[in-house]
Amino acid sequence: MYDVVIIGAGVTGAAVAWKLAKYDIKTCVLEKCSDVCEGTSKANSAIIHAGYDAETGSLKAKLNIRGNEMMDELCKDLDIPFKRIGSLVVCLHKDALSGLDDLYERGVRNGVKGLKILTGEEALFMEPNLSEDTQGALFAPSAGIICPFELNIGMAEIAAMNGTEFRLNTEVKDIRKQDDGSFKIFTDNGEFDARYVVNAAGVYADVIHNMVSSKKIHITQRRGDYCLLDKQAGKHVSHVIFPQPTGLGKGVLVAPTVHGNLIVGPTAVDTEDKEETATTALGIDELTKKAGDNVKNIPLNKVITSFAGLRAHEDNNDFIIEEVCDVPGFIDCAGIESPGLTSCPAIGEMVCDILNDRMNLREKENVITKRRAVRSTAGLSIEEVNELIKENPAYGNVICRCESVTEGEILDAIHRPLGATTLDGIKRRTRAGMGRCQAGFCMPRTMEILARELGLSYEDITKSGGGSNIVVTRTKGEVKRP
């Protein structure tokens, strides 16, 4: 019997696990994919929002502000990069300038610090590649950029180091409330008993919720296409550039990523298919056109990849973070769309508070609160690199040439808690394969390391678990003898 079972190992589930890790309870995270950070958490804008967007008084507003505040310390503890580069909401039409004032006032009501309305000239001075039509902008210095993979993986690692169990490749099929008030969770990988259940299932949070509650909820998948540009384009803008918001979301943004690329997106298309992460020609056309409205001369010939993510949009347009009224002990984290990434540590804190009220959580001794990220040789001095290579010569062997990722980093990614078992897992932990050649060069080399370290055959190696195998058989060269 677990005290708490968390369903979903995206940023929300990982944040809850991270917060619960310091308490003396038995926690398990169930994840249907082969790794953490495989759903919405891996495909989004990677922005830490300031908090002026959401309606004052909403959970989105409250948790955005709190999450933003928590981010500096969290990223320090996780040893991951976070840059508060600030954001600009750009207004292109004089008659729409009052919209900036509305956002400003809402931001102040929500508790956003440092907001400032800029004139068109001031905005262009700060960001010379804005459209010449810029009439004004809302500047929010507390907005920032982050790596969502590392945030998600880092929180999950800390939970794992403190004893939280992670069951990957485990999809919840049904949940039954037992007579003693506990839950029996049926999965494709065994049954689990839990006193409390936290539903952090992303776009599937409605499915999970509706397994136990008669008060149904409904999540719409709001698909967004993105383009990621080469690092050569990464300095095109130096802030997160938003258009003025519309009913469907914050619109197509242009921003540098924390690793120095340029990201453009997302579009917003509603779908009832929870797996529809295919990009469309229409979507890519739309976003390249829309991004060009606010930022001029985006070098779109430098796109290195495009992808689509799904926002988990709940019908009432706010986060649902509460104990479900007709199912005591079952806590929802549903409708976690933007600003979910920003809010995740605050969501973890809030769920923790809800559970504390019920369970009287006791802190355990010797809690691990920090982790060391995969050590990258990038940015180190020659002496520092040589120190690393002396310690482990694998740090001298570059595997991914585009991102300068060494074998030492890949070994670290494989052998750490919740280590990588797939090519995507290595990519998200080290950036190997995330550069301009998109793994064309390093894939066979990474496969060789994965096979050797995990004792896998090449045929067993996958891109991201399930049936995503890379090769099917040996070539005719090897003759198998009876």
Question: Shortest distance, CB of residue 384 to another protein, whole angstroms?
Answer: 9
- Alpha-carbon torsion 122, 123, 127, 131, what sign? negative
Between strands 172-177 and 165-167, the pairing is unpaired
Question: Shortest distance, CB of residue 230 to another protein, whole angstroms?
Answer: 9
Q: Which is nearer to another protein, 196 or 395 (CB)?
A: 395
Residue 192 amino acid letter: F
Q: Mapping DSSP to helix (H, G, I), strand (E, B) and coil, where does residue 55 land? A: coil
Q: Has 236 been annotated as catalytic?
A: no
Question: Shortest distance, CB of residue 163 to another protein, whole angstroms?
Answer: 31
Q: Which is nearer to another protein, 216 or 382 (CB)?
A: 382
Q: Which is nearer to another protein, 177 or 274 (CB)?
A: 274
The total of other beta-carbon atoms located within 10 Å of residue 199's CB is: 32
Tell me the two tokens of residue 306. 């495009």
Catalytic residue, candidates 49, 236, 239, 313: 49
Q: Where do contacts with another protein occur on this chain (CB under 8 A)? A: 227-228, 232, 275, 277-281, 283-284, 303-307, 377, 382, 385-386, 389-390, 393-394, 396-398, 401-402, 404, 436-441, 443-444, 447-448, 458-459, 462-478
Question: Shortest distance, CB of residue 129 to another protein, whole angstroms?
Answer: 20
Residues 6+ apart with CB under 8 A from 421: 34, 35, 414, 450, 454, 465
Pair 363, 23: CB distance under 8 Å: yes
Question: Shortest distance, CB of residue 347 to another protein, whole angstroms?
Answer: 27
Pair 458, 32: CB distance under 8 Å: no
Q: Mapping DSSP to helix (H, G, I), strand (E, B) and coil, where does residue 249 land? A: strand
Residues 6+ apart with CB under 8 A from 422: 34, 35, 450, 461, 462, 463, 464, 465, 468
Q: Which is nearer to another protein, 365 or 478 (CB)?
A: 478
Residue 173 amino acid letter: K
Question: Shortest distance, CB of residue 447 to another protein, whole angstroms?
Answer: 8
Q: Which is nearer to another protein, 96 or 471 (CB)?
A: 471
- Please give the Cα distance from 196 to 225 (Å, whole number): 36
Q: Which is nearer to another protein, 98 or 469 (CB)?
A: 469
Tell me the two tokens of residue 7. 């369903």
Write b or e for each residue in 299-315: b if 16 or more Cβ atoms lie within 10 A of its Cβ, otherwise e. eeebbbebbbbbbbbbe
Give catalytic residues, as residue numbers.
Answer: 49
